[in-house]
């Protein structure tokens, strides 16, 4: 079942990205998350591993799945969870990211979960605060918990990640989901193809160990997994595609393009979906092939696993180092 034995645990204080993580560390988080999937399907979903701890969720960018699942994850582990509504906070009054972080830090949280529009902002913040920090998405850079939940979804369906052929399709250029997934899947021995128009595939992406396709029909040929991405309009200045209609024709996943993948290929999407732009409703809702809802379920378990793993490095509640 596991790609690699995971005796080492998760030795880091923060989770800032997938880059730099070793296969046993990734496998350890996935194993831990697997156990939380089962727990979340029980009537009693509560554990006390973070009892007495304070988790602050600080989201400078919009979020539905990630923020709710981090909130749920913290509460299921017994933490006191606070959601900072940035729109109503002093950030709107001109306070900088670091001043906000220092203010929160003075309240002695144990874990900060941060999403920010600038690549690298979460790492910068982690250097200034005294608590554990989880990156919930920084600009077009990394979204580590998304890649972990995608990996868990694939591993539970297929039993392993190594050897799986995964096509990541669409706006690769602006996607932190693509970047974290490429790194994780390569680290765990999967084969990654990226598919998108030349304007939306970064020039140096091959250096990350992927093959590039601009023709979706060729790129999808024989793949095990089709991962669709949303056009990140909010990160674009100007237009990268001639029209949404043409984009759908060339790069939208519909039944006819899907037929080129393996007959049992799984369809994934991190959400939010733009139906009729990158994906057709018929394939998004195909109960035999689409695992999009499953990804959401895995998201809660993965976030519990990450909080649990980081919680193990926090000082003991009675004052002694753990």
Query: Could you list the residues that contact ligand ASP (CB under 6 A)?
Result: 137, 143, 176-177, 230, 270-271
Nearest approach, Cβ of 168 to ligand ASP (angstroms)? 12
Which is closer to ligand ASP, CB of 50 or CB of 253? 253
8-state DSSP, 275: B
Which is closer to ligand ASP, CB of 4 or CB of 66? 66
* 8 Å CB contact between 66 and 137: yes
Which is closer to ligand ASP, CB of 237 or CB of 318? 237
Nearest approach, Cβ of 305 to ligand ASP (angstroms)? 19
Nearest approach, Cβ of 150 to ligand ASP (angstroms)? 11
**5 burial via Cβ count (<10 Å: 0-12, 13-18, 19+):** exposed
Nearest approach, Cβ of 29 to ligand ASP (angstroms)? 19
Residue 268 β-bridge partners: 227
Which is closer to ligand ASP, CB of 74 or CB of 299? 299
Which is closer to ligand ASP, CB of 54 or CB of 69? 69
Nearest approach, Cβ of 136 to ligand ASP (angstroms)? 8
Query: Measured between alpha carbons, how far is 91 from 119 in angstroms, rounded to an integer?
Result: 18
Which distant-in-sequence residues (6+ apart) come within 8 Å of 97 by Cβ? 60, 91, 116, 121, 124, 125
Residue nearest to ligand ASP (CB): 230
Token output for 118: 């600038």
Query: Measured between alpha carbons, how far is 214 from 263 in angstroms, rounded to an integer?
Result: 22
């Amino acid at each position: 079942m596991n790609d690699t034995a995971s005796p080492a645990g998760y030795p880091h204080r923060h989770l800032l990205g997938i880059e730099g993580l070793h296969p046993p560390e990734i496998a350890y988080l996935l194993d831990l998350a697997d156990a939380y999937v089962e727990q979340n399907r029980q009537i009693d979903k509560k554990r006390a591993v973070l009892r007495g701890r304070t988790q602050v969720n600080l989201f400078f960018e919009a979020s539905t799945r990630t923020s709710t699942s981090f909130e749920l994850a913290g509460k299921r582990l017994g933490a006191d969870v606070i959601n900072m509504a940035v729109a109503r906070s002093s950030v709107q009054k001109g306070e900088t990211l670091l001043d906000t972080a220092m203010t929160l830090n003075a309240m002695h949280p144990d874990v900060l979960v941060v999403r920010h529009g600038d690549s690298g902002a979460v790492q910068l913040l982690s250097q200034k605060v005294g608590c554990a920090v989880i990156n919930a998405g920084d600009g077009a850079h990394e979204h580590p918990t998304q890649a972990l939940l995608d990996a868990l979804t694939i591993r539970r369906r297929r039993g392993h990640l190594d050897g799986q052929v995964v096509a990541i399709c669409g706006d690769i250029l602006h996607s932190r989901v693509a970047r974290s997934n490429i790194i994780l899947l390569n680290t765990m021995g999967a084969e990654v193809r990226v598919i998108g128009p030349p304007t939306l595939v970064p020039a140096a992406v091959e250096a990350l160990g992927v093959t590039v396709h601009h023709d979706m029909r060729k790129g999808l040929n024989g793949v095990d997994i089709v991962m669709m991405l949303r056009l990140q309009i909010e990160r674009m200045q100007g237009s990268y595609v001639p029209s949404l209609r043409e984009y759908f024709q060339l790069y939208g996943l519909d039944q006819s393009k899907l037929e080129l993948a393996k007959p049992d290929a799984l369809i994934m999407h991190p959400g939010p979906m733009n139906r009729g732009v990158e994906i057709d409703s018929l394939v998004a809702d195909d109960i035999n092939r689409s695992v999009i809802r499953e990804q959401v379920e895995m998201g809660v378990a993965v976030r519990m696993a990450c909080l649990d793993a980081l919680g193990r490095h926090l000082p003991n509640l009675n004052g002694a180092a753990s």
